[in-house]
Structure 1
Amino acid sequence: MNIHLGRDLASLNLALDALDEWVVVVDESAKILFINQPYAQFLGVKRETSYGRYVVDVIENTRMHLVVENGQEELSKLQEIRGRHMIANRYPIRQAGKVIGAIGFVLYHDTHEWRQMNTQIKALVSELDFYRRALDKEQTGAHYHINDLIGRSPLIKAVNEKIKKVAGGDASVLIRGESGTGKELYAHALHLLSERSKAPFIKINCAAIPENLLESELFGYAEGAFTGAKRGGKQGKFQLADKGTLFLDEIGDMPLTMQAKLLRVLQDREIEAVGSNRLVKIDVRLVTATHQPLEKLVEAGEFREDLYYRINVVSVDLPPLRDRREDIPALAEHFLNRLAARTGRRAPKLTADALTRMLEYAWPGNVREMENAIESAFYLSQGYKISLQALPSSLTAGVSVVDKSLVQGTLKEQLAMAEKDILEQALITCKGNRQLAAKMLGIGKTTIYDKLSRYELTNESFIG
């Protein structure tokens, strides 16, 4: 044996013997290759004589041989040895894709020890939550900064730059985008970048409040204004947002009668509470959002044209996730890291086939749908990998597992291949009608022509 190698192995043995955790290593036949001295001592065996023995004959209720057989890791599993319940982790050892053994760790020597550790962790998490809640109370109500908005695609970079440019003024901003694209998050970021960042950020969803209550929610009411009114009255969202920002989400769902009253407030910069005849001056920056085409609502007489121009001084259009697929890996990593921080678990990684499917999927629910999918997979998966099978069935229906050996090339190259496949499928579905394919994919006519040219998709068999 090489002298240095022998010395290294001896040092490794000493290090593993010094651990509180008990360690065992088996080969592909589930025979013991190594066991550290504390574990051997507890088992009542001599370490040297245990080497080469079948692990089942040495360790009571072991599952090391099963890990070798099925290649599946087992985390935080109960195991009874000599009348004591312990908690163990077991991992397969692979070489060139083949399982050649397994390694196991007994982390907690009894369940009481684990419960003590769990109690300490819960106490620390509780303390952290206390300070977080205390900090939140001091905040203005906006929580998402521009740096929290994940994405390096050209489309998102352009949106972020536009937000930075308009944040410093008081112009009304209309944020447009499909459901789930993050309109509210951008309203938060706009407020925190503005000169009003220390003042309140107040939000209200116009679609979630009945028409007969919306006026009092926005403008407040005086004492005795109606049956059930609070003594002393109640401030509305405009009063609460004074000197700050008021975010009206789903502005396209606001009833016409309320649109007229909102327009008057924006023109006069003063509000009149329900049941009061007193006008109150307000200083509020208005940010609105909608997923609806307001221009069509104006044409149909369902949205006031004068209000449309009042709220649409600056328009910010958020791209759907399908138009910025290159952001998907970074978004997935962000959501997984956030879940890991919340739960105290190590952040898992997406396998190549899971990431490939996420890049191919259309994401009709956009970033919100993706966040929900990641959270579901996070809790349903075990270990440090999220496989294709762990993704929600809505993503994987009719999809077979992709052979990892087929996933080749850089991320940019894989994204390009996925985009090309999606374009081809859309054109086949639309029988070569490029404009119809563009509409189905939610992209512009110019965009699809550019992409078809880039990928040299000019086959007359599917392009009309």
Structure 2
Amino acid sequence: MYQGFEKIPQNWHEQMIHLLAERIIVVDDNGIILYINEAYCQFLGTTIKDAVNRPVQDVIENTRMHIVAKTGQKELATLHPINGSEMIANRFPIIEDGKIVGAVGTVMFRSPEEWRMYRTKIQGLVEELKYYKTKLEKELKSKYQFNDLIGKSSTFLATKKLAERISGSNSSVLLIGDSGTGKELFAHAIHNSSMRASLPFVAINCASIPEHLLESELFGYDDGAFTGAKKGGKKGQFEIANNGSIFLDEIGDMPLSMQSKLLRVLQEKEIQRVGGQKSIAVDVRIIAATHRDLEKLVEEGKFRQDLYYRLNVIKIEIPPLRERKEDIPLISQSLLKKLEGKFYRKGIELSTVVEERLMEHSWPGNIRELENVLERSINILDGKTIEMVHLPLYLRDMEPETNFVKGASTQNLETTPKPLLPIFSLKETLAHAEKKAILNALEVTKGNKQEAAKLLGIGKTSFYEKCKLYSIK
């Protein structure tokens, strides 16, 4: 007996047992009840006199006390169906001189009401956990398939066919294309057609995460890695994407310091958390994308050549909308269906003249710009047909006012009546001109916002603010 235990008065023992575990039972090695307290008997609807010296399985339904008394294997926090409810039971063997002499069991919770209250509380937590788990799983699933990639032009169909063919591979993929061409949709579709389709798909925009946070976001951090670090550390996106795919958008904007760490992941297939000492193995397929000329960045020393070759195993160039204008009607119809759900509208269509105008535009913002134009049009649409008047000013301004014949005198000019357009405020007219200038600059620089800002003679911060103001991405 432990030192000091003998000082406890004998008449305290049962009261102590009752307080520590209200329902308790003790059996010998044959499963015969040697002791059961009053609380347990009340719950079972019996008495101590009727229960003691009887086989435990005759007194308690679904009991395993006699089994524990034979096997010597303790059972902790096990479900025990009893009296139409489910108790949580603990069962321990009693060993004396190396021999199993019996077993002691306790049932947690003091009453069925307490269990029901506990179960209700736990059930709420379980439902909440299930909700967030389902939400997380949905967020980690790829949303698009190749059927969602709309187009019939030969260049687009060739690109789509190549992407479908390489989907089953585990090799790295590099998606090249202007902003708004649908690189992320291709990444989703590639993952969804791969053997990793049921596993996580994680998308990261390398340009949108501050440089000092990018490493911890990608690779995670250990407990105490830095001030404010979450207790217990945090998994990075590579760990979350393990066995699945990770989409690194705008890879051309990744800092050089991070490029070397990404190269190590590709070569060694392992990551190291910020502040961590051990390496963690990861199996992730990398799908990278950029609108920038990586070969030029390599020449300028702004992108690692070895990383470029690692990423450029399978290169897929997605054509811009200006090179597949025959796809504009199909894409427009698909976008209108999507927007109809957003605006709770049905049967919206384009007039013939609007469809022609859309096909005349160069679309520097590609499909993203087209979607913005259609959404803007629906916002001011009363009927079901989008007409010229519903288009933004910069598209309406494209309409020719005069058919000029070279060499003809001014008296012989063929003129077409100038359509009557609504008058807009000076503020809106200036905003239109500013937006048009930004879009033109982006078209010239192939989407490079820093170069576009230089062309326009404004600062980078001011340029980004104006892009946000005019929904230019």
Q: Same fold (TM over 0.5)?
A: yes
Contact 1:388 1:401 in 2 (8 A): no
2:175/2:290 contact within 8 Å kept: yes
CA distance in 1, matches of 2:375, 2:309: 40
For 2:170, the equivalent position in structure 1 comes to 170
Equivalent-residue separation in structure 1 for 2:229 and 2:321 (angstroms): 44
For 1:263, the equivalent position in structure 2 comes to 263
User: Hey, what does 2:294 align to over in structure 1?
Assistant: 294
Q: Does 1:304 align with 2:269?
A: no
Aligned partner of 1:371 in structure 2 is 371
Deviation at 1:138, TM superposition (A): 4.2
Unaligned runs of 5+ in 1: 1-130, 403-438, 443-464
Deviation at 1:340, TM superposition (A): 1.6
Offset of residue 343 of structure 1:
3.0
Report the AA paired with residue 267 of structure 1: Q
Q: TM-score, normalised by structure 1?
A: 0.57
RMSD across aligned positions (CA): 2.2
Counterpart contact for 2:269–2:281, Cα < 8 Å: yes
Do structure 1's residue 181 and structure 2's residue 190 form an aligned pair?
no
Change (3 A) 1:362 1:351: same
Tell me which amino acid in the other structure corresponds to 2:311.
I
Match of 1:317 in 2: 317
Partner-residue secondary structure (3-state), 2:156: helix
CA contact (8 A) 2:141 2:198 kept: no
Alignment-mate amino acid for residue 372 of structure 2: N
- For the 8 Å contact 1:353–1:401, the answer to whether it is kept is no
Matched AA of 1:232 = G
Matched, 1:280 2:280: yes
Is 1:383 paired with 2:380?
Answer: no
In the TM superposition, what are the counterparts of 1:46-125 in structure 2 within 5 Å?
A: none
* In 2: Cα distance, 1:138 partner to 1:288 partner: 21
**Change in CA separation of 1:218 and 1:167 when aligned onto 2, cut-off 3 Å:** same
Task: Show the counterpart of 2:340.
Answer: 340
Cα shift readout 1:9-30 (whole Å, capped 9, x = no counterpart): xxxxxxxxxxxxxxxxxxxxxx
Distance 1:378 1:236 in 2: 40
Q: CA deviation at 1:393?
A: 1.5
- Alignment partner of 1:203 is 2:203: yes
Q: Give the SS at the match of 1:287.
A: strand
Change (3 A) 1:391 1:356: same
Structure 1 residues 253 and 441, CA, compared in 2 at 3 Å: closer, same or farther? closer
TM-score, length basis structure 2: 0.56
What is the CA–CA distance in structure 2 between the aligned matches of 1:218 and 1:201, rounded to whole Å?
Answer: 14
Q: What secondary structure does 2:328 align onto? A: helix
State the alpha-carbon separation in 1 of the partners of residues 264 and 388 from structure 2: 54
Aligned pairs for 1:210-229 (under 5 A) are 210-229=210-229
| In 2: Cα distance, 1:440 partner to 1:206 partner | 23
C-alpha distance 367-308 of structure 1, shift in aligned 2 (>3 A): same
CA distance in 2, matches of 1:273, 1:233: 9
Question: Match of 2:242?
Answer: 242
Distance, in Å, in 1 between the alignment partners of 2:162 and 2:256 is 30
Aligned-partner SS, 1:335: helix
Q: What is the CA-CA distance between 1:352 and the residue it aligns to?
A: 1.2
Q: How has the CA–CA distance of structure 1 residues 299 and 145 changed in structure 2, closer, same or farther, with 3 Å as cutoff? A: same
- Residue identity over aligned pairs, in percent, reads 48
- Counterpart CA distance in 2 for 1:248 and 1:265 is 13
Deviations 1:38-93 (A, max 9, x none): xxxxxxxxxxxxxxxxxxxxxxxxxxxxxxxxxxxxxxxxxxxxxxxxxxxxxxxx
Secondary structure (helix, strand or coil) at the match of 2:316 reads: strand
Q: Which letter maps to 1:340? A: E
Asked if residue 149 in structure 1 is aligned to residue 149 in structure 2, the reply is yes
| 1:341 to partner: Cα distance | 2.8
- Shift in CA distance, 324/398, structure 1 to aligned 2, threshold 3 Å: closer
Deviation, 1:384, is 1.5
Alignment of 1:34-45 (within 5 A): none
Shift in CA distance, 134/270, structure 1 to aligned 2, threshold 3 Å = closer
Q: Can you list the C-alpha shifts for 1:228-255, whole angstroms capped at 9, x where unaligned?
A: 0000101001000000001100000111
1:142 Cα shift?
1.2
- For 2:235 and 2:362, how far apart are their aligned partners in 1? 43
Deviation at 1:215, TM superposition (A): 0.6
Equivalents in 2 of 1:194, 1:252: separation in Å?
25
Kindly provide the CA deviation profile for residues 428-460 of structure 1, in whole angstroms up to 9, marking residues without a partner as x: xxxxxxxxxxx9799xxxxxxxxxxxxxxxxxx
Which SS does the other structure have where 1:202 is aligned?
A: strand
Deviations 1:331-358 (A, max 9, x none): 1111111222333312211111111110
> Aligned pair in 2 of structure 1 residues 235, 440: CA closer, same or farther (>3 Å)?
closer
Aligned match of 1:159: 159
Query: By how many angstroms is 1:389 displaced?
Result: 1.0
- 1-structure distance, mates of 2:368, 2:244: 27
1:380 shift after superposition = 1.1
Q: Which residue of structure 1 lines up, in the alignment, with residue 108 of structure 2?
A: none
Cα distance in 2 for residues equivalent to 1:284 and 1:232: 24
- Partners of 2:206 and 2:445 in 1: CA distance: 29
The amino acid of 1:292's aligned partner reads R
- Report Cα offsets for 1:198-217 as digits up to 9, x if no partner: 00000111111111111111
Hey, what's the Cα distance between the residues in 2 that align with 1:174 and 1:254? 14
* SS of residue paired to 2:310: helix
Equivalent residue for 2:331?
331
Q: Contact (CA 8 Å) 2:220, 2:237: kept in 1 or not?
A: yes
Query: Shift in Å at residue 136 of structure 1?
Result: 8.1
- Alpha-carbon distance, 1:135 to partner: 7.8
1:103-143 Cα deviation digits (max 9, x unpaired): xxxxxxxxxxxxxxxxxxxxxxxxxxxx9x96884464310
Residue aligned with 2:196, SS: coil
Distance in 1 (CA, whole Å) between partners of 2:135 and 2:211 is 35
Number of aligned residue pairs: 275
Q: Distance in 2 between matches of 1:280 and 1:135?
A: 26
Q: Which has the larger radius of gyration?
A: 2
- Return the letter of the residue paired with 2:257: T
**2:399 corresponding residue in structure 1:** 399
> In structure 1, what residue type is equivalent to 2:242?
D
TM-superposed CA distance for 1:363, in Å, is 0.4
Aligned 8 A contact 1:140 1:198 in 2: no
- CA drift at 1:316: 0.4
One-letter amino acid matched to 1:272: Q
Question: How far, CA to CA, are the matches of 1:208 and 1:441 in structure 2?
Answer: 20
Q: Tell me, what secondary structure is at the counterpart of 1:342?
A: helix
